[in-house]
Structure 1
């Protein structure tokens, strides 16, 4: 902020310095702006800007002497990490989404967006995927033939499909789709997981794939990914952007 203040009052190029008419709207504020300061700026606008510029420069040097460069990547989520059950803290978000979910019959689009947000969090908690892998995850509805594993390897993405043998929704992602595909964790084998049907997860998955996903596409070309986003356009066909989440 101090650097911005210096730039705004810099000689010849500062925006505030080039607009002395701003002083017309300045009023005295007890303890903050004295009438004498307004009068001084009225007599010598550039002198007032010079004084402010020097003040900001001196304060900036004082801050630089005592400031510490601090970058702790865990600080924003420290409250979660220190909780007795970090996953339970994130589960609270999904509970709030369901609690505030709009009526599908009256508000189909907001309801579809709410279900999508719910599934993003739930699948993220179950799978632990990077954003890229979750964003590129394809979907194969029930009753359709799933994409061949070799084809998924070529596309370097995974797929959510129904498993008749396991009677559950399965996520299959080839190891080449992961950033650390050469890790011993994969052993050149795909990542495969049957999602647990906890707290009606299957109910919302089925509803999203059968109804809500189509509402979000709004007639646009289907990109094949599980999570989609529609954008209002002036063209007859709505645009979609599967690479962007709300």
Structure 2
């Protein structure tokens, strides 16, 4: 897939930056956009858990961002938007299965709201203004999409996109798709917790570690230093 086609020069630079200058220096390579909080959000929490599904390029980085978010109980990389029969890494790479690389976020609505998750998603997890592309990765499988679950998530997401577009916080118009959720298929085991387990992998160092650093810088109130991993799902956060 395209994430493996980063040039040798970029790989060398990323590796040297990470190894020689550390985490904070890598963060300087990619900027986040500081966004206002949504004017419309979920009401006071009643349930113990809730889920949201976001797509925004390679799922490694999106998963890592939410794993470092307070109130998140689990963040699983996977596929949404297509059929079960084609929900595999090898097949979705064609861009013809309808799937997007996605992350299913299970969270405690008493600790963090759906609107706050959206703020993180649009601010540091990806660039919502690029159509079918994030960084070096291109194709519909890398599209920006929110797979909303129910009328409330749809309404809050639509409202926030309109709010951000009206405020002109991005240089271009938001192209994020709003798609009704049908199913989520977890990705293969080797994709789970990938950024945490492979911090010196050149792609992670260049494109994903900056997202985690930006979360800490831009939204310190929700940042958690120790990520909640897929293998730790269900444990206290």
Between structures 1 and 2, the one with greater strand share: 2
TM-score by length of 2: 0.26
TM-score by length of 1: 0.26
Larger Rg: 1
Between structures 1 and 2, the one with greater helix share: 1
